[in-house]
Copies of this chain bind each other. A is one copy, B any other.
Amino acid sequence: MGIIVQKFGGSSVANIEKLELVAEHIIREKLKGNKIVVVVSAQGKTTDRLIAEESEITSNPDKREHDVLVSTGEQVTISKLAMLLLEKKHKAVSLTGWQVPIVTNSEYSNSRIRYIHNETIEEYLEAGNIVIVAGFQGVDENGNITTFGRGGSDTTAVALAASLKAERCDIFTDVDGVYTSDPKIVSSVEKIKSISYDEMLEMSSMGAKVLHNRCVEIGKKYNVPIYVKSTFEKNSIGTLVNTNNNLEDLVINGVTKDDYISRITIVGLENKIGKTFELFKILSKNLINIDVISQSFGEHITKDIAFTVKMNDLSKTLEVLNEHKSILGIQEILHSENLAKVSIIGVGIANKPGVAADMFEALYENSINMHMISTSEIKISVLVDSKDSDLAVKAIHKKFFNK
């Protein structure tokens, strides 16, 4: 009998009707002879409601107390789901983060898991219980309640699967898997049957919102097969995220886009060792996230560097750069707004130069201008004008999937 971890998000547990669907998924796996660990989020808009109530008290909530407050949301869900399963004559027991315990560091509201004690869960499983664990929360070594930040329940689920050496982790969501592109842009998207952890990381950082990077990273590190499935389908096969053993086969897995990008160009940075480092250190100190970077090459006295930031970081970035303009020896700072990053993702891209050519051809055929190009082992991204981004996704999707 293997252990299976199932995770259900806030919209999947929003009310009693949806909890009934969740119970069906759990009982179906249980009846196959598996040991089941379930991870749930707070119901529907509960967390939003608690935060609204908090904002009546203070605009700057203490982070420790914030975690005490919001962690009640998942605690309500675990007890309700356990009651429902018990009502259906299945042994079930709920555990909060501290009851497991899931031990984290003390960074409130954004804590990271240090270790998980398996004993309590394993004892309850041995005794035939379905074990229902509160997502998104843990406890630090001093007994303070901590929470994990966005995507926290996915993290709980995959971390538990890793710690318990589960056969797999099923992440139930509103959609029945990961798609080759956004169905709102490309009408003929295909569901991806299988994708590697690295590709999934690229997909989600590129705008596919199905899984949070943090849980994929844990899945990769501990080799936990993750299935993305639909709560609202009985026999959803979903998408499997695991280690891709066929690195030599090129599989383009998806076309994604990320709007609201700005590009900043630094003209005339002194071409001296350490200057580039100094520039990015200042930006990082000011908590500005840099994405694509490219720089001019050649042996000149000065060099030019361009990089992208999210649109809502633009004004702060320009402010910081202007402050340090003379120290860094910058001649001029230029910027362009309303750009979008369009990417294709697939293991083996780096070894197949034809892929980049095909992608650029699709853009050329549609008269779409490329402002920057960036490549990695499994990804090619190009910067285009925002107005062209949907067309770019469609054209590239057609080129690779022939629809």
Contacts and interface: CB of A to CB of B under 8 A. Distances in A.
B98 A84 contact: no
A43 to B, nearest CB: 9
Given A75-B72, A76-B72, A143-B120, A65 B86 contact: yes
A87 B58 contact: yes
A120 B144 CA distance: 11
| Residue in A50, A66, A78, A96 whose Cβ sees the most chain B Cβ within 10 Å | A96
Contact of A54 (B78, B80, B144): B80
B69 A57 contact: no
Nearest to A132: B65
A57 B19 CA distance: 9
Given A75-B72, A80-B57, A65 B94 contact: yes
Contacts of A56: 16
A69 B62 contact: no
Contacts of A69: 75-76, 79-80, 83
Task: Work out how many copies of this chain go into the complex.
Answer: 2
Given A120-B143, A143-B99, A143-B120, A68 B57 contact: no
Contact of A61 (B72, B83, B144): B83
Nearest to A61: B83
A169 interface: no
A80 B53 contact: yes
A80 B53 CA distance: 9
A61 to B, nearest CB: 5
Contacts of A71: 75
A78 B68 contact: yes
A160 interface: no
Given A56-B16, A98-B98, A99-B143, A65 B87 contact: no
Contacts of A68: 75, 78-79, 82, 94, 96
A159 B66 CA distance: 27
A93 interface: yes
Which bracket fits the contact residues of A? 35 or more
A64 interface: yes
A62 B80 contact: no
Nearest to A94: B68
Contact of A87 (B57, B87, B98, B145): B57
Contacts of A86: 58, 62, 65
A93 B79 contact: no
B62 A50 contact: no
A93 B64 contact: yes
Interface string A179-207: 00000000000000000000000000000
A103 to B, nearest CB: 14
Interface of A: 16, 19, 50, 53-54, 56-58, 60-62, 64-66, 68-69, 71-72, 75-76, 78-80, 82-84, 86-87, 93-94, 96, 98-99, 120, 143-145
Given A53-B80, A57-B84, A69-B80, 15 more contacts: A54-B80, A58-B84, A62-B86, A64-B93, A65-B79, A65-B82, A65-B86, A65-B94, A68-B82, A69-B75, A69-B76, A69-B79, A72-B72, A99-B143, A120-B143
Which 8 pairs from chain A and chain B are nearest by CB?
A68-B79, A69-B79, A72-B72, A58-B87, A65-B79, A65-B82, A65-B83, A62-B86
18 contacts: A16-B56, A54-B83, A57-B83, A58-B84, A58-B86, A60-B87, A62-B83, A62-B86, A65-B83, A65-B86, A65-B94, A66-B83, A69-B76, A69-B80, A72-B72, A72-B76, A75-B75, A96-B145
